Amino acid sequence: MTNVLLLKMMQSQSQVHDSKKNIYISHKSRNKKKTLHRTTMPPPKKLFRCIDPVQNQIIYEFATPNARDAALKAATKGLQTICLVEQTTGKLHMFRGGRIQLDEDMMNEYTKQRNITCRPSAQKLGYANLKRSIQDSEMQIVSDTFLQMQE
């Protein structure tokens, strides 16, 4: 714990966050106690674009922390061959996905009340790093790379 954080805390009489250690320091005004709260910060969300490699079009955009979560969202929407491009880094992820019907023994009260009959499934097939950010006009490069990965 740095002295600067303690000094800031005493001056502001509120919470101070140390981002390097994921620690919140709160100062309770009633009993003048300093307490440490360790928290885990959620990972930052990245923008993944789900593209159709045949038509070179963006089908969906997903803001998720990782590619698998975006693939599960695409599988929920019914896609079977999923091509995801991370917009900022140019990483290309290839998944096979779909919806799996729930058996009677997999159903519980929550799924029965909300009429949930299937769940998404996604398996990673491949990965390619294009090593640069991808613009909308460069979808042909992404499509060609994806079609090469499929072969």
Residue 35 has pLDDT above 90, yes or no: no
Residue 2 C-alpha from the chain's centroid = 32
DSSP bridge partners of 116: none
Query: Rounded to whole angstroms, how far apart are CA atoms 52 and 82?
Result: 8
Comparing CA positions, the residue from 92, 39, 96, 86 lying closest to residue 64 is 86
Q: Are 36 and 5 in contact (CB under 8 A)?
A: no
Over residues 86-125, the pLDDT tens digits come to 988 889 999 999 999 999 888 999 999 999 999 999 999 9
Q: Has residue 20 got a pLDDT over 60?
A: no
Lowest mean pLDDT among 10-19, 71-80, 109-118: 10-19
pLDDT band at 47 (very low <50, low <70, confident <90, very high): very high
- The 3 state secondary structure assigned to 59-107 is EEEEEECCHHHHHHHHHHCCCCEEEEEECCCCEEEEEEEEEEECCCCCC
How far is the C-alpha of 68 from the C-alpha of 121, rounded, in Å? 10
